Structure 1
Amino acid sequence: MTGAWALLGAVAVAGAIGVLLKLREGRISHRAQPSADLPAPVRDLLAPGVTLVQLSTTFCAPCRHAKVVLRDLADRVDGLTHAELDVTNLPEVASRLGVMRTPTTLALTADGTEVLRVGGVPKRDSLLEALRPHLR
């Protein structure tokens, strides 16, 4: 009987963790902080307007979905560029940026100011709405 309760408890905890992770997927964090110490591989990707820098890893399945969403959005919106950086072999870049999971998308202005960050696959409409004030 104790084993059944332990199993039920483990399933409940796993379910709660799954729900929490799902709720955080694609959540946008608004920031307005200049990145004076932006790593060179990221700084090299910046373009005029706003650049969506997608930090990915080699075997990340959600990264492929994020790439489709971000590339499509950048193709449709003037002043928006998408760039992908594989941080599989660049853990120091991910660490300096405070990235704990992939995909993570940073919206950076041409001067390197991070205006927002998205963990997971972004939701197209929410991301566009959050970016509107930063697009000209």
Structure 2
Amino acid sequence: MTGVWALAGAVAVALIVGAVWRARNGRVRRADRPVELPEPVRELLDPPAPVTLVQLSTAFCAPCRHTRALLADLADRTDGLRHVELDVTDRPDVAAALGVLRTPTTLAVDAAGVELLRVGGVPDRGALLAALRPHLPRPIG
């Protein structure tokens, strides 16, 4: 009987962890504290672009490919928005400096290098557009 209770407990814990993970995946979070951008990230910024989406990826990350396609399309269709990708597979120092624990993680950074928001996982297109709207030069349609 103890084995049944242990199994039921393990299943319950797994369900709770899964629910929390799904709720956090792709959620847009405002930058809560200023972070000094590491040099490899600063080099990717384009001062004329009001907002740069910096995608932090790793070599064998399937969600990173989906995120790349989504962000590239979004940047192509939105004035003032640029998308760049940084592979942190061999750059754990960059991920650690930014407090990144998973890939993909997307940072929205303004022209001055200030982090506006971040998304862990594949972003929700509508939520990301809504969060970026105040930082872009023209309203997003």
Tell me the TM-score normalized by structure 1. Answer: 0.95
AA matched with 1:56 = S
Partner of 1:21: 21
CA deviation map 1:68-93 (0-9, x unaligned): 11111001000000001000100000
Map 1:104-123 to 2 at 5 A.
Answer: 104-123=105-124
Map 1:11-90 to 2 at 5 A.
Answer: 11-31=11-31, 34-35=34-35, 37-47=36-46, 48-90=49-91
For residues 94 and 85 of structure 2, the distance between their equivalents in structure 1, rounded to whole angstroms, comes to 13
CA RMSD after TM alignment: 1.2
Note the C-alpha offset of 1:34: 4.9
User: Which has the larger share of strand?
Assistant: 1
- Secondary structure at the aligned position of 1:55 is classed as strand
Note the C-alpha offset of 1:133: 0.3
Note the C-alpha offset of 1:31: 2.1
Aligned length: 135
CA deviation map 1:28-55 (0-9, x unaligned): 11127554x3111101111221000000
Note the C-alpha offset of 1:108: 0.4
- Percent identity (aligned): 64
Structure 2: tracts of 5 or more residues without a match: none
For residues 26 and 52 of structure 1, the distance between their equivalents in structure 2, rounded to whole angstroms, comes to 14
Structure 1: tracts of 5 or more residues without a match: none
- Secondary structure at the aligned position of 2:122 is classed as coil
